[in-house]
Amino acid sequence: MSLSCGAAVAMLDQEIRNDRLRQEAAMEPDAVPTTPPAKQTQIIAIYGKGGIGKSFTLANLSYMMAQRNKKVLLIGCDPKSDTTSLLFGGRACPTILETSAKKKLAGDPVQIGDVCFKRDGVFAMELGGPEVGRGCGGRGIIHGFELLEKLGFHEWDFDYVLLDFLGDVVCGGFGLPIARDMCQKVIVVGSNDLQSLYVANNVCSAVEYFRKLGGNVGVAGLVINKDDGTGEAQAFANAAGIPVLAAIPAHDDIRRKSASYEIIGRPGGDWSGVFDELAHNVAEAPPIRPKPLSHDGLLSLFKSEQTGGDYRLIPATSADMNQKTQSTKKTLEVIYDSV
């Protein structure tokens, strides 16, 4: 039986495709690459209680990293916009949100030189935020990162990008790096006090929560600031399964120099060893899945007389809530018996 012209052409096309498939199957696979991988930017989010010393730690850490020939970008994500003040000798740099608003009114685009400034190899900028009572700081963070993306954030060539976040604010914008896998790892800054470790533990809880949802961010470790040697922060790190990256002592020389906007994370300085160790450990520490403590577990790190940990909750009763206490009130009013 003879084939039609169309059927013959179809058979020929199928044979050609089969031949191509056989040729592809016979090809040897590409060799496994043995060259070093291309540089990947480490994006690290630093969290801690307000006032615990994140900005101080980050300014000196970023400076030391730059002196180790690393290209570093420091981004302040605190509405107070004080992350870069120590780096720039107390000067406040224009924030991204404020600059964007002014440029938009003028009909001009934001340029990188409007919001990013540098010192001795460290590049730094502030996202900014609303004034008190005039907006949501978390929304400001989200909007700020949207502007950064328009400026080319994902194409920038840095060894490290350090993000300074408040840890005691729980709205969504401040959890952005953890919730959206915007960073590879988190560092918490704490001290030997209950409130800062409470915040550090909350951050560990957030990391663990998003890991259960399929996230990839881990905790690189704890930086102990103002370390007085009492050991509670070290005990917390041990219990949470995270390393201590450095312990910055509670020393008057550090306090005075920090208050006068002096960088102490300099090679050859009195405190260079602390920040050189911190820079090394931050670079090498892998992201770890932490083991957050229960509230009682956190309290157990401290002596009961420090925290009131020996107190037991006494439940209230309905009678407590409704009973009115009768009391005799003294008065000068003369009351006559009714006739």
Q: Is 93 within a domain?
A: yes
Q: Is 316 within a domain?
A: no
Per residue in 87-132, pLDDT (tens digit) is 998 888 898 888 988 988 989 999 999 999 999 999 999 988 766 6
Whether 6 shows a pLDDT value over 60: the answer reads yes
Find the domain containing 139 and state its range: 42-299
Contact 240, 188 (CB under 8 A): no
Residue 226 known to be catalytic: no
Residue 80 known to be catalytic: yes
Distance CA 264, CA 270 (A): 8
Cβ partners under 8 Å of residue 270, min gap 6: 253, 264
Task: Give the model's pLDDT for residue 11.
Answer: 73
Name the band, by pLDDT with cuts 50, 70 and 90, for residue 30: very low
Tell me which of 82, 114, 159, 168 is the catalytic residue: 168
Residue 49 known to be catalytic: yes
Tell me which of 70, 71, 80, 103 is the catalytic residue: 80
Tell me which of 54, 185, 226, 257 is the catalytic residue: 54
Name the band, by pLDDT with cuts 50, 70 and 90, for residue 213: very high
Task: Give the model's pLDDT for residue 7.
Answer: 66
CATH of residue 210's domain is 3.40.50.300
Task: Give the model's pLDDT for residue 92.
Answer: 83
pTM for the structure as a whole: 0.78
Give the count of domains, the chain: 1
Q: Is 8 within a domain?
A: no
Q: Is 112 within a domain?
A: yes
Q: Is 109 within a domain?
A: yes
Residue 168 known to be catalytic: yes
Q: Is 134 within a domain?
A: yes
Q: Is 119 within a domain?
A: yes
Name the band, by pLDDT with cuts 50, 70 and 90, for residue 68: very high
Q: Tell me whether residue 119 is exposed, middle or buried, using C-beta atoms within 10 angstroms of its C-beta: 0 to 12, 13 to 18, 19 or more.
A: middle
Place of tokens 């915040």: 199
Mean pLDDT of the chain: 84
